[in-house]
Amino acid sequence: MRDFDYAAPESVQQAVQLLSQANGSGRPLAGGTDLIDQVRMRRHEPDLIVDIKRIPELNVLEIGADGFRLGAAVPCWKITSNEDISRQYTALGDSCSIIGGVQIQNRASVGGNLCNSGPAADSIPSLIALEAVCVIMGPDGQREVPVAEFCTGPSTNVLKPGELLVELRFPPRPAHSGSHYRRFIPRNEMDIAVVGVGVSVVLDESGENFVSGRISLGAVAAKPLFAEEASSLLAGRPVNDETLAAAAAAARAIATPIDDMRGTVEFRQHVTGVLTERVLQRAIERARSGEPGSLHP
């Protein structure tokens, strides 16, 4: 592997300073499941790797009345084994239970999955559906960016040199809400999403009408998408086949996928519609029952 220096700072300030001084040739390291392979394959050529796992703020995992704070370096296994997250932010638990296999989940972080900014990243549609906001620290101070606006294209995002994703903040979950993430893959496990859909719904007390909903799509565009129109078609509507079909059609209409060995454009667009309906149905079940059920579909 390429030669590089390694630092393991214990504060956000030190990490930002190290990354700023590296002038674009530094990379933060959380779980390393993307980064170490990319350095080996020369997709990245860093002179400095900054291990961020010793920084307390990046290991925060707190759920309270104000919502949920998730440090950028928290590995997937801590999310899938946390009952409060499974209950309230279920879609994120779904995502973390299918990112790679067990070995990968023991290392990979949601923050890393987001910053790697793959169009098919399994955590990002859940983050968008659950309205997560990125807290970013840089040489000029702190700023916040909604996850829906974070990615700019395949492997690119809004982070500037010297900036570090510190944590993700999620608003509290309303009553009668449910969420789900599911992807289509040709295997049972360990594959890249052909289409991924993340959904969050809020129902009224009767469970028969949508108060609101958020739909997000992965693997069907250059970056994960917030399906704004499809989401707005849920608000105030009755929970029935017609509403779901309308939302699915609107989601399908914004899918501009690529053709590759995993699926053609036509197939991916079709699956976007089918999956949107199925994921909505599961999120509705969860909202009605108040029970997440098993994470893995």
Name the residues that contact other proteins, by CB under 8 A: 1-6, 8, 29, 31-33, 36-37, 39-41, 49, 51, 53, 77, 100-104, 106-107, 188-190, 296
Closest distance to other proteins from the beta carbon of 27 (Å): 12
Measured from the CB atom, is 188 or 205 closer to other proteins? Answer: 188
Q: Write the DSSP assignment of 227-267 as a string of letters.
A: -HHHHHTTTT-BSSHHHHHHHHHHHHHT--PPPBTTB-HHH
Compute CA distances 99 → 123, 232, 277, whole Å. 8, 29, 22
Measured from the CB atom, is 64 or 188 closer to other proteins? Answer: 188
Measured from the CB atom, is 82 or 177 closer to other proteins? Answer: 82
- Quote the CA–CA distance of 274 and 268 in Å, as a whole number: 10
Closest distance to other proteins from the beta carbon of 196 (Å): 18
Measured from the CB atom, is 53 or 268 closer to other proteins? Answer: 53
Closest distance to other proteins from the beta carbon of 226 (Å): 29
Measured from the CB atom, is 51 or 277 closer to other proteins? Answer: 51
- Quote the CA–CA distance of 221 and 10 in Å, as a whole number: 37
Measured from the CB atom, is 141 or 294 closer to other proteins? Answer: 294
CB 234 within 8 A of CB 213: yes
Closest distance to other proteins from the beta carbon of 9 (Å): 13
Please give the angle made by the CA atoms of 113, 44 and 9, to the nearest 5 degrees.
70
Closest distance to other proteins from the beta carbon of 75 (Å): 9
Torsion of CA 48, 49, 50, 52, to 10 degrees: 170
Measured from the CB atom, is 73 or 215 closer to other proteins? Answer: 73
- Quote the CA–CA distance of 232 and 44 in Å, as a whole number: 39
Compute CA distances 35 → 108, 126, 174, whole Å. 10, 22, 36
Q: Write the DSSP assignment of 9-70 as a string of letters.
A: -SSHHHHHHHHHHTTT-EEEESS-TTHHHHHHTTS---SEEEE-TT-GGGG-EEEETTEEEE
- Quote the CA–CA distance of 186 and 228 in Å, as a whole number: 28
Measured from the CB atom, is 6 or 259 closer to other proteins? Answer: 6
Provide the terminal-to-terminal Cα distance of the chain, rounded to the nearest Å.
38
Closest distance to other proteins from the beta carbon of 7 (Å): 9
Closest distance to other proteins from the beta carbon of 156 (Å): 22
Closest distance to other proteins from the beta carbon of 78 (Å): 11
Please give the angle made by the CA atoms of 122, 89 and 204, to the nearest 5 degrees.
120
